[in-house]
Chain A
Amino acid sequence: MQQILLTAVVAVGALFLGLTVLIVVTKAWREGRDRWRAARRREMEPRILRWVHGDGTSLQVALGGVTRGERTVVESVLLDHVQRVRGMERDRLARALDELGCVERYRRGLQSGRWWTRAASAERLGMAGAVRAARDLATMLEDPVPEVRIRAAAALGAMGGEAAVRPLILALDEPSRWSTIRIADILTGMGQPVLEELVGVFPRMTVQGKLAAIDILGRVRSVEVVDWLRARLLNDHRDVRARACHALGAIGDADSAPAVAQMLRDPEWPVRAMSAKALGRLRYQGAIPGLALAVRDPEWWVRANAAEALRRMGEPGLAALETLLDDPDNFARHQAVLMLQEAGVVDQRIEALAGPDGPERRRAESMLAKLAATGQVGRLRELEVVHPDPAVRRALSLLRERAAEPAGVPS
């Protein structure tokens, strides 16, 4: 018994020594290798870049041959820079990668059993702009590992073109939400060419895919799809309607505003909330009465978005908010005060208190009296103490006293 335990102890001791040696050796090796690589890079990078800016045909010739050890260094220089430029210089960098045999290596890497090799290969193919690998990459969109799928999608996105768009859109029906988001981002980045395809594939997508598609259409901001999006406002699914509102707001086409304003009366609250938000972005003044009603909505998000939308509409919207200050609905009053504060209107009116007696001052007093009545008087109290103008401070004190009097007593 003791013997076994003793051998175990010795084994652990040996393991411990072995570990230490392992750490030291790997560190030394890694540092040596990194130092060598950095030195080679310092020497070669300027030469490589000079070739890129020039018009020589072959990088290898220009460098006078590339040894096997140097190949990694050259490859990383090329990969680093190929992502940072566009146009002719990028093509040259891509061509150099091909000449070095890297592109073929990446294509082979797509078949690797190890997922990180597949993912790295996909990513690099994208960087190298290897259009001939587009089909291979499209197959990678169905790889079991999500990381590989995302890299393949990014690569296709970087390459662009028809061969890339289709598979990407089909991939929007991804089970993993994060992948869907990433693919949506990639498609958005591809711009116009995506729109027609999206609209075409739309009916066959899952709900999640449809939502992603609508988001993309909103973010690409093309006026072409406005009519189509308007039709989505009548879709059965509430999330589709809501996202359509949001997308129309993002695109900003004023003609779509009346249709969006109709959605303020939708039975589902996410739709009402998104409609309010979109109307704020569209600055559609015809919706002001509807929004003023929406500020009394039982759902918090709808109220908040409606109030915010009114604020964004400028003068007429702010005027509508002022009328809500003595609204019987509690929440409406709260939101009105908040928005007026954030728009700076409250401070403006307070300044008017010190002005000459006249319609403007009376309007200010009336509005501030209503404000005081809501009970949200933090700012008033603050300025009552710290405002530099004594006339204003006095006026604010007077206001507070009046507000404290029971209703009905003449001021």
Chain B
Amino acid sequence: MSARILVADDDRLTARFLHSLLSEKGYEVAVADDGEQALELVGTHHPDLILSDMVMPYLDGMDLLRALRGDVRHARIPIILLSLKDREEDIVAGLEGGADDYVVKPFNARELLVRVRKLLSRAGPS
């Protein structure tokens, strides 16, 4: 059974790119346009990993992190933050907020795949 990944990004182009990239490698990918939708999809799709942008309408990356980490059902899902913000403060804030990894955009696709694979294998079979 292939792992399920949720991509949350309001930038449609990035979302399409990630969808294509991850589907190629055999993952099942769902896409959310904003934080609110992402939260909904977590509840219905039960992803094994989440790739989320930091800046989104309605509920941004940090809020999403907080919501997920605060919920016992979803607290263990590995989350990779993907963001344009490359300031030290934002990266530290993201990681301290509970993200497992932080990738700055523009990102390196192959690198990202490796990180995804590692986190998924660490988390173990769902």
Give A residues with C-beta under 8 Å from B.
45-46, 49-50, 53-54, 80-81, 83-90
Distance to closest chain A CB from B15 (angstroms): 10
Task: Considering the complex, give the chain B residue whose CB is closest to the CB of A87.
Answer: B108
Return chain B residues, CB-CB under 8 Å to A46. 20
Q: Is B106 within 8 A of A86, CB to CB?
A: yes
CB-defined contacts of B108 to chain A, threshold 8 Å: 85-89
Q: Specify which chain A residues have a CB less than 8 angstroms from the CB of B11 in the assembled complex.
A: 84
Q: A81-B17, A84-B13, A84-B14 are in contact. Are A53 and B24 (CB under 8 A)?
A: yes
Give the size category of B's interface with A: 10 to 19
Does B118 make an interface contact (CB < 8 A)?
A: no
Selected contact of B20 from candidates A53, A80, A83, A87, CB within 8 Å: A53
User: Which B residues touch A50, using CB under 8 A?
Assistant: 20, 24
Contact pick for A53, options B14, B106, B109, B111, CB 8 Å:
B109
Given contacts A46-B20, A49-B20, A50-B20, contact A89 B13 (CB under 8 A): no
Nearest residue, chain A, Cβ from B104: A86
Which positions in B face A, CB cutoff 8 Å?
11, 13-14, 16-17, 20-21, 24, 105-111
- Cβ A87 vs Cβ B109 within 8 A: yes
Contacts A49-B16, A80-B13, A81-B17 given; indicate if A88 touches B110 (C-beta within 8 A): yes
Contact sample, A vs B, 10 pairs, CB 8 Å cutoff:
A45-B16, A50-B24, A83-B106, A84-B11, A84-B17, A85-B106, A85-B109, A87-B108, A88-B110, A90-B106
- A-side contacts of B13, CB under 8 Å: 80-81, 84
B111 with A87: CB separation less than 8 A:
yes
A87 and B110 in contact, given A46-B20, A53-B20, A53-B21 (Cβ under 8 angstroms): yes
> Closest chain A residue to B21 by CB distance?
A53
Please give, as numbers and ranges, the residues of chain B lying within 8 Å of A90 by CB-CB distance: 106
**Contact B20 A88, beta carbon cutoff 8 Å:** no
Residues of B within 8 A of A89 (CB): 108-110
